[in-house]
Structure 1
Amino acid sequence: MRRITRRELLQATGGGAAVAKTGGLAAILATGRAPAYAQTTQIHWLKWNDFVPAGDQLLRRQLLGEAEKALGIKINLETIGLNDLQARVTAAIQSQSGADITMAFNNNAQLYAESCVDVSDVCEELAASQGGFYDLAKAQSHDGRKWVAVPYCIIGAMVAYRKSWFDEIGVTTFPETWEAYREAGRKLKARGRPIGQSLGHTVGDAPAFCYPLMWSFGGREVEADGKTVKLNSKETIESVKFMTAFWKEAHDEGGLAWDDSNNNRAFLSGTISSTLNGASIYIEALRKPDQYKTDSGAQMRTDILHAPLPRGAHGQFGVHPFQNHMVMGYSKNQKAAKEFLRWFHSPAVYEKWFVVQKGFATGPTRSWENHKVWDEDPVMAPYRVAGRLGLVYGHAGPAGQKAAEVLSKYIIVDMYAKAVQGMSAEDAVKWAEAEVKKVYGTGA
């Protein structure tokens, strides 16, 4: 853009005194050239590599360009592996430099509440216009005083399973109880088709499996007061004993070292029969129907169904991985970052991203339950109400900093991992309770 000189400006406005009048602005517009402003504000946005590649492709090819035109803000998007996010934000806070907007998973934003900008104005505006946030979203993004992050999406965690393989062992509907799932898994593993599950240090699948299993047996890390640690109980020990047998009888035992992508690859290659996952396995099979085939040569997408985790004696539970975005306190572009998040979550813009997700990620506000995308594919129907049904890590206590720390240290996941590797259930639970007490400040 050519810079307008002072002489040209004065000529266009009829003299310096006219600049202050409305006619001066009209004259500037009449020249057909915008005044030369300071360099366009640039925002550094750090997020995960989307498990639905079309999501990131849409951002880079279309939406970020639209944002620059609409807001005059250039967005520099950086994507990294899911398990690398927490290390990056920790390092950025320590150095007081880094991305302006950073994605957080589950309740991790609570760990950085003092280092985040108050985004209550953005969140309250979105909640008022879109039917309100799910309790799941608010619990993980609001620290009791303010919104510390803007909710981004909820990723439903359901069991993806091969329908024909379950049919072959006489299981025509997905098992409703843990014992029935264990029995089905035992038969499937005997046929070389084990269940696949991560028990490693990975953000999504491992904790999303272990916590609901514990809750369904009646175990919990802390009471509702958020202070009384209650992990070492008969109920928790029973859940660990169950998992130890379930693991050996029904699972691919290599899952101890899996991250959130290993089970996707194993399922699509036909080496596991079921796994807890977002809808990314099914969406990948839809995306490449001729690449992923069943034993009979049919497209694998026709043999995939979804179901919630089974129930135990104390109920049926689920955790649905959650994402939000923090505007960092060290950022020099806080106002622009908030404006971008407000713009991105406006219905007209967010819908474009939501549609390409095909149900893998659903909106954090209740209005998205009613979108027509849910009527287009019945295989995706179980994910529709994930935001309404999911519990938060730390249940029955609040999803605050202490619960986030227990999660980030993988204490509950490691409790099960230690047991399946040979530690007694009693010792594994005793170890985990001592670690949880350190976090909650109640001693070992």
Structure 2
Amino acid sequence: MKKEEIKISSLDKGKGMSRRKFLALTASTTAALSFGTFLRSGLGATKVSLLTWPNTLSAMDDVLREQAREYSKIKGVEISIEFVSYNDLPTKTAAAVESGAGPDIVCLVGDGAHLHAKSLVDVSDVANTLAKELKGWTNIAKDVGMVGKTWRAIPWAICPQVINYRIDWLKELGYQKFPDTYEDMLTLAKKLKDKGHPVGFALGRALGDANQFHYPLLWAFGGAECKKDGKTVAINSPETAKAIDYRRELHKLGESDDVYAWDDAANNRAFMAEAISVTLNATSIYWAMKKNAPHLREVTDHALAPRGPAGRFSYSTPFSLGIFKFSKVQKEAKAFIKWLLEPKQYSAWMGVGEGMMAGLLNFYEDDPVWKKDPKFEASRLTPKYCRLPGYPGPPSRHAAEAMVKYVIVNMFARACKGMSTAETIKIAEAELKEIYGKA
């Protein structure tokens, strides 16, 4: 201590620096050195990147961007978000897996956690903490994020697929609400078409809408593409035959042939143009009406997908957040994901979506967004009935391949075009055996 005092004194004398100035300089230098150590340690100026898709409702993306900025301010971690189209997201994800470079966090569509499990970090700690704090995960959440006994992704949300229907046209026929069963829906569909208001469910290359209607229909009649083991093809069954016979009648009595050419946007356009009375879709149609057709919004409502002999089912596209193993900021990425799913942030994000997205933690079944409009009730309840392609088996690469190749949709479409039930099942069975027979 004495030597330091002497040194200060000599500096004062030799260079005209006061003791006060020297102490100020020392403090500044120490702070600068400490900050440099802080940066080099990785605790500061950390950057976490997220790859996702632009939501149909841009307001949800605006909230996400604002939350990223807020997180950066309060945590000192820079969050960068890249939005790519829904169709390009799986391709870009696969490219990152192949190259071993890319975003830290990726939004995975459908069974993406299963497809890329080997490239994703174990996030069981985050999943278990959220479950403990927010009343646990729904069953579909576990199918989405868990591979074996390990969480490979954190379920972010599903886009609930619900029946969109015209209240006024149903009331003209004496209906006060939408039928609860497929059989009763068939009766209604015939009456609506006879009045010039056909129903419409995609039977073409609509990756979302066509699959999301026909998988639940198959399950509701007790049919399945494979058994619980996820390996044995089980499509050739009396239950599948009943589902096909039903679909043929629904098309004959209630639809036009336009549905064969529909893509994922076609039913939205048809409903907005008042060309159809009933379809399966997210609440995006209802949301679009607020600006473009408020008079139709007043006479449009939503219902759960009907139930069949084996129960009620839904296939609503799920989204999850995974962290790549090549990420250098895995700890920070986990912290950001957990923060996003906490009530303050998640409710704000889900709230602007007007039922477009539903949370997969049980806590969010009672989120305030559902009380904004009673017409969101079907979306609120949909997660309870969700399953993934491959059900009752686990999600798998085989099930994903069958879906993107429209094996189930085409099976129904061939029957609606006139092929016998036995023949269309035979074709689907051969296709599924080829897919499920792959290593």
Query: Normalising by structure 1, what TM-score?
Result: 0.85
Q: Contact 1:197 / 1:252 at 8 angstroms: preserved in 2?
A: no
- Does the 8 Å contact 1:162/1:303 carry over to 2? yes
Question: What amino acid is aligned across from residue 200 of structure 1 in structure 2?
Answer: G
Alpha-carbon distance in 1 for matches of 2:50, 2:279: 31
Aligned to 2:303: 307
Aligned to 1:326: 322
Aligned: 1:415 with 2:407: no
Are the structure 2 counterparts of residues 68 and 177 from structure 1 closer, same or farther at C-alpha, using a change threshold of 3 Å?
Answer: same
Matched letter for residue 293 of structure 2:
Y
Q: Per-residue CA shift, 1:291-342, capped at 9, x if unaligned?
A: 305xxxxx21111111122222333222232111122234344333223212
Question: 2:113 & 2:142 partners in 1: Cα distance?
Answer: 12
What one-letter code is carried by the residue in structure 1 that aligns with 2:403?
A: L
Paired with 2:27 and 2:168, the residues of 1 have a C-alpha distance of 82
1:384 aligns with 2:380: yes
CA–CA separation in structure 1 for the residues paired with 2:248 and 2:90: 30
User: After the TM superposition, which of the residue ranges 234-243 and 69-78 deviates more from structure 2?
Assistant: 69-78
| Distance in 2 of aligned mates of 1:398 and 1:10 | 69
> In the alignment, does 2:263 pair up with 1:267?
no
2:190 corresponds in structure 1 to 186
1:276 aligned partner, one-letter code: L
Structure 1 position 131 matched with structure 2 position 131 = no
SS of residue matched to 2:80: strand
What is the CA deviation profile of residues 252-305 of structure 1, one whole-angstrom value per residue up to 9, with x for unaligned ones? 43333333332222212222111111222222223x1xx305xxxxx2111111
- Tell me the residue number matched to 1:121: 125
- Measured after TM superposition, the shift of residue 117 of structure 1 is 1.8
Query: Does structure 1 residue 355 correspond to structure 2 residue 351?
Result: yes
Determine the structure 1 residue equivalent to 2:49: 44
Report Cα offsets for 1:108-155 as digits up to 9, x if no partner: 321111122222222122111111111110112100131111110122
Alpha-carbon offset, residue 35 of structure 1: 8.2
User: Partners in 2 of 1:442 and 1:353 — Cα distance?
Assistant: 41
**Matches of 1:14 and 1:442 in 2, distance apart?**
69
* Cα 1:256/1:102, change in 2 over 3 Å: farther
- CA–CA separation in structure 2 for the residues paired with 1:108 and 1:264: 27
**Which residue of 2 is the match for residue 174 of structure 1?**
178
TM-aligned CA deviation for residue 409 of structure 1: 3.2
Task: Label 1:316 to 1:347 Cα distance change in 2 as closer, same or farther (>3 A).
Answer: closer
CA distance in 1, matches of 2:265, 2:136: 32
Whether the 8 Å contact between 1:140 and 1:400 is mirrored in structure 2 is no
One-letter amino acid of the counterpart of residue 163, structure 1: I
Aligned partners of 2:75 and 2:263: how far apart in 1? 38
Whole-Å separation in 1 of the counterparts to 2:165 and 2:298:
11
Do structure 1's residue 64 and structure 2's residue 65 form an aligned pair? Answer: no
Whether 2:87 is the aligned partner of 1:83: answer yes
Aligned to 1:426: 422
Distance 1:257 1:193 in 2: 19
Q: C-alpha separation between the residues in 1 aligned to 2:36 and 2:251?
A: 66
Corresponding position: 1:292 with 2:293: yes
Deviation of 1:161 (Å): 0.3
Structure number with greater Rg is 2
Counterpart contact for 1:108–1:404, Cα < 8 Å: no
- 216-225 or 75-84, larger mean C-alpha shift: 75-84
> Is the Cα–Cα contact under 8 Å of residues 174 and 307 in structure 1 kept in the other structure?
yes
2:209 & 2:191 partners in 1: Cα distance?
23
Aligned-partner Cα distance in 1 for 2:252–2:321 = 39
1:408, 1:70 → 2: CA distance?
42
Tell me which amino acid in the other structure corresponds to 2:204.
G
**1:281 pairs with one of 279, 282, 285:** 285
Query: 1:11 deviation in Å?
Result: 5.1
TM-score normalized by the length of structure 2: 0.85
**Quick one: percent identity of the two aligned structures?**
37
Match of 1:153 in 2: 157
Asked whether the equivalents of residues 304 and 382 of structure 2 are also in contact (C-alpha less than 8 Å), the reply is no
In structure 1, the residue matched to 2:96 is: 92
Indicate the RMSD between aligned Cα atoms, in angstroms: 2.9
Q: Distance in 2 between matches of 1:411 and 1:170?
A: 38
Whichever residue aligns with residue 47 of structure 2, its letter is Q
Distance apart, 1:422 and its partner CA: 4.1
Say yes or no: does 1:218 pair with 2:222: yes
Q: Secondary structure at the match of 2:298?
A: helix
Does the aligned pair in 1 maintain the 2:347–2:367 contact within 8 Å?
A: no
Alignment match, 1:144: 148
Distance 2:47 2:149 in 1: 30
Instruction: Work out the number of aligned pairs and report it.
Output: 417
Q: Is the 8 A contact 1:222 1:396 kept in 2?
A: yes
Provide Cα deviations, 1:29-86, integer angstroms capped at 9, x if missing partner. Answer: 9xxx9988368443332222212221012223x2121122123333332333333322
- Residues 239-258 of structure 1 mapped to structure 2, 5 A cutoff: 239-258=243-262
Structure 2: tracts of 5 or more residues without a match: 1-20
Deviates more, 1:428-437 or 1:96-105: 96-105
For 1:102 and 1:37, the matched residues in 2 are separated by 25
Q: How has the CA–CA distance of structure 1 residues 188 and 100 changed in structure 2, closer, same or farther, with 3 Å as cutoff?
A: same
Asked whether the 8 Å contact 1:269–1:292 carries over to 2, the reply is no
